[in-house]
């Protein structure tokens, strides 16, 4: 279709993806007289999980000019400095590490991590744990918020934790305030033109809703892209084994932490996400290795609530992506487009990135098949770039307590890019150069790759390490002293996380 005909956009779905999409497009295009309508089914409901973000959620709220003091209290939101990964590794001293979001002071310490990690990769017994070199890890350990005082002029990226139902309600209200139309009805049938374009949606209230362009935010059902337009789904099951999840809340503790915690369990991993009024917890696991009942019992034991009557929600996950995100006059956004399991909480980042790319396509007037192809290629590369980093977590685990972890470690279904990155690490080559050569550094940077690979202790076996010579041993001591002082000094410019949460519900 020609972008100049774009006057009427229909968004199918009122989950987080639907309302984020509608808000962004309405905000950007309201002056063009384009009508945006969201249709959502009161009978189907939203998935209602997904409570952690990356820093792109801040970019999203900033672009809507919605301040933290407006949305955070309403969504019981907290700040997120990054994610701690516990018990993914059994290597002594490397059982836990922190994956921080970036900050403009990383240059002051991370070079030293790369230096000592390279020496340890070469077989020298030097400390190379990422937490010792990360200011964000230091802030998180002290339960500080990632927002520096005004006299400390450095930029810290951060994400959020939030209640996924409340954020949906908030976004719906704000979107309607700025002019988004809202219809509550279920789509029963989809009418197409002879060229395959979607013409209209037949709703169960007898209404026929036509549009020039349709955005499929219908969740895993993917009513428009996969069901109607028959775009095939590419399953990631051979790379990522998890297909199920359980969610359940527990009581929040005093001094609310500013991190997500991911703890490896027997057949997957448990998340722990702090909100102002509760922890959101869950277990992401593979149903091939344990039953839902076994998983629930293990999660309850892990949370110390074996005998409580807290309700557990069981969910199935469709992990993979549609072969194309954009076909004919339809773009899929959110779960209908694809889903990589939630280990790095990247789903809403995808929503923002997809809508942003789509808006750029419209504004550049490039609704051509060629542009669509380029858009699809970019989206697919995005999925695969992030997927590879998630797979790396599983590939480098050193647990042997279950077949699940052994199979994950032995799994040879790795992309060529991931194989090259692993070869680069084991061959003590330059990670930054490899990321540039493979053109994948925009998904996860050298910092992230080094944190993960060093964090789980992917080094020669301890008994094969040789003691550091005097020069290296001394320079490590000097560098650690400098880093410790640096982190300690910088930390004085941050407030306790608890103080930064403007309002708390009881």
Ligand X SMILES: Cc1cc2nc3c(=O)[nH]c(=O)nc-3n(C[C@H](O)[C@H](O)[C@H](O)COP(=O)(O)OP(=O)(O)OC[C@H]3O[C@@H](n4cnc5c(N)ncnc54)[C@H](O)[C@@H]3O)c2cc1C
Q: Site residues (CB under 6 A) for ligand X? A: 12-18, 39-41, 44-47, 49-53, 164, 186-187, 217-219, 221, 223, 245, 282, 284, 315, 317, 334-336, 342, 345, 347-348
Full DSSP string of 144-200: EEEEE-TTS---B--EEE--HHHHHHHHHHHHHHTT-EEEE--EEEEEE-TTS-EEE
CA–CA distance, 114 with 478 (Å, rounded to integer): 16
* CB of 319 or CB of 418, closer to ligand X: 319
List binding-site positions: 14-17, 80, 187, 335, 344
Stated as kind and residue range, the H or E segment containing 273 is: strand 268-274
CA–CA distance, 21 with 333 (Å, rounded to integer): 8
CA–CA distance, 101 with 448 (Å, rounded to integer): 9
* CB of 353 or CB of 414, closer to ligand X: 353
List binding-site positions for L-tryptophan: 344
Task: Give min distance, CB of 51 to ligand X, in A.
Answer: 5
List binding-site positions for FAD: 14-17, 187, 335
Task: Give min distance, CB of 215 to ligand X, in A.
Answer: 11
CA–CA distance, 256 with 62 (Å, rounded to integer): 24
* CB of 223 or CB of 248, closer to ligand X: 223
CA–CA distance, 247 with 445 (Å, rounded to integer): 30
CA–CA distance, 193 with 11 (Å, rounded to integer): 18
Task: Give min distance, CB of 352 to ligand X, in A.
Answer: 10
* CB of 212 or CB of 341, closer to ligand X: 341
List, by residue number, the catalytic residues.
80
Task: Give min distance, CB of 326 to ligand X, in A.
Answer: 16
Which residue from 108, 163, 164 is spatially nearest to 133, judged by alpha carbons?
108
Task: Give min distance, CB of 292 to ligand X, in A.
Answer: 13
Neighbours of 460 (CB within 10 A): 15
* CB of 223 or CB of 431, closer to ligand X: 223
**CA angle, residues 192, 195, 196, in degrees to nearest 5:** 40
For residue 473, with 0-12 CB atoms within 10 Å meaning exposed, 13-18 middle and 19 or more buried, which class applies? middle
């Amino acid at each position: 279709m020609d972008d100049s005909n774009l006057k009427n956009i229909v968004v199918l779905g009122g989950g987080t993806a639907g309302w984020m999409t509608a808000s962004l497009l309405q905000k950007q295009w309201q002056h063009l007289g384009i009508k945006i309508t969201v249709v959502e089914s009161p009978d189907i409901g939203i998935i209602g999980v997904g409570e952690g973000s990356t820093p792109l959620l801040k970019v999203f709220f900033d672009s809507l000019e919605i301040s933290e003091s407006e949305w955070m209290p309403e969504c019981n939101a907290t700040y997120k400095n990054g994610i701690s990964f516990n018990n993914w590794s059994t290597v002594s001293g490397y059982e836990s590490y922190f994956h921080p979001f970036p900050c403009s002071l990383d240059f002051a310490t991370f070079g030293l991590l790369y230096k000592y990690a390279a020496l340890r990769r070469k077989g020298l017994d030097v400390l190379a744990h990422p937490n010792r070199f990360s200011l964000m890890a230091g802030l998180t350990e002290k339960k500080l918020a990632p927002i520096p005082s005004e006299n400390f002029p450095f930029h810290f990226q951060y994400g959020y934790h939030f209640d996924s139902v409340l954020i949906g309600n908030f976004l719906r209200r704000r979107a309607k305030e700025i002019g988004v139309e809202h219809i509550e009805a279920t789509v029963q049938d989809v009418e197409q033109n002879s060229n395959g374009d979607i013409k209209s949606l037949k709703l169960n209230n007898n209404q026929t809703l036509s549009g020039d362009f349709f955005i499929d935010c219908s969740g895993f059902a993917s009513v428009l892209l996969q069901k109607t337009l028959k775009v095939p789904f590419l399953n990631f099951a051979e790379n990522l084994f998890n297909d199920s999840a359980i969610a359940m809340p527990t009581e929040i503790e005093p001094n609310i932490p500013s991190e997500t915690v991911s703890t490896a369990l027997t057949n997957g991993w448990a998340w722990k996400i702090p909100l102002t009024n509760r922890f959101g917890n869950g277990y992401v696991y593979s149903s091939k290795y344990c039953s839902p009942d076994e998983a629930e019992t293990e999660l309850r034991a892990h949370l110390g609530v074996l005998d409580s009557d807290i309700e557990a929600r069981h969910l199935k996950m469709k992990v993979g992506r549609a072969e194309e995100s954009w076909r004919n006059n339809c773009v899929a956004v959110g779960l209908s487009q694809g889903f990589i399991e939630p280990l790095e909480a990247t789903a809403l980042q995808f929503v923002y990135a997809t809508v942003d790319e789509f808006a750029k396509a419209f504004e550049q007037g490039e609704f051509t098949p060629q542009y669509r192809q380029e858009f699809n290629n970019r989206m697919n590369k995005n999925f695969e770039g992030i997927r590879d980093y998630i797979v790396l977590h599983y590939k480098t685990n050193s647990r042997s307590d279950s077949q699940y972890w052994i199979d994950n470690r032995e799994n040879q279904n790795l992309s060529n890019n991931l194989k090259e990155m692993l070869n680069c690490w084991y061959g003590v080559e330059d990670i930054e150069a490899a990321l540039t050569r493979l053109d994948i550094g925009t998904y996860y940077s050298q910092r992230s790759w080094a944190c993960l690979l060093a964090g789980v202790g992917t080094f020669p076996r301890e008994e094969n390490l040789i003691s550091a010579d005097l020069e290296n041993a001394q320079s490590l001591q000097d560098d650690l002293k400098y880093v410790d002082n640096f982190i300690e000094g910088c930390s004085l410019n941050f407030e306790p996380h608890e103080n930064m949460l403007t309002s708390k519900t009881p």
